[in-house]
Amino acid sequence: MTRRTEWPGSDADPDPGAGPDYGTGSGTGFGEGAGRRARSRSRSSGSPSSSRAEKGEPRDPVEQARNVCLRLLTGTPRTRKQLADALRKREIPDEAAEEVLSRFEDVGLIDDAAFADAWVESRHHGRGLARRALVRELRTKGVDSAVIDEAIGQLDSEQEEETARELVARKLRSTRGLDRDRRLRRLAGMLARKGYGEGMALRVVRQALEEEGEDTEGLEEPF
């Protein structure tokens, strides 16, 4: 006896597109090979929803949205916009996506404020990014401007400048042997790429070069 497989959440046959087994009887007009071909044609012409059912994927869009979000959140916090974009890419209906995203926010699985706080902490201390660069990154992830402002408030100008000094100190040795102007451009360019403003970058680089005995006269001009 062939055992029927029960699929969670569905009373449908797990392989609804497959044809019956005609065996090898000569009176039917179907041999074993013909039966296989018939089943193959039936499966290949099945609808996308039938294919999803065969793979065990839920047909309910809310359940699909929930599964997608849980997979994406495993080990990696994400913003609401990141998840919404992922659901849209998978063609989840807007109503189902909104229901799941709102529910995940209610239970704390989506928390843009916590995401922004952690992002600022990690990217500033780990990569040395300045506030301007952090704002730009959080905006691309869909974080609300008010939430960004609050998260960026963790960093004050003194802390930001201290981080800039640390970055220059680490890079300074690799510029030794270059002329002053090239050292200036290289160090200031590194700070600019990390989001530091021109005034702060010039001040920090100038002080670092002075400590090494470089003549910094004329470096007050914008670079």
Across 45-81, b (16+ Cβ under 10 Å) vs e yields ebeeebeebbeeebeebbebbbebbeeeeeeeebbbb
Tokens of 42: 């039936």
Please tell me the distance from the alpha carbon of residue 143 to that of residue 81, in angstroms, as a whole number: 8
**pLDDT values of the chain reduced to their tens digit, one per residue, 223 residues:** 433 333 333 333 333 333 333 333 444 343 444 444 444 444 444 444 444 544 555 579 999 999 999 999 998 899 999 999 999 999 999 999 999 999 999 999 999 999 999 999 999 999 999 999 999 999 999 999 999 999 999 899 999 999 999 999 999 989 988 888 898 999 999 999 999 999 999 999 999 998 888 766 665 554 4
Strand spans (E) along 34-116: none
pTM: 0.69
Q: Supply the DSSP symbol for 217.
A: T
Quote the pLDDT of residue 103. 97
Cβ neighbours of 84 (radius 10 Å)? 21
Quote the pLDDT of residue 53. 47
Please tell me the distance from the alpha carbon of residue 99 to that of residue 97, in angstroms, as a whole number: 5
> Percent helix, strand, coil in the chain (nearest 5)?
65, 0, 35
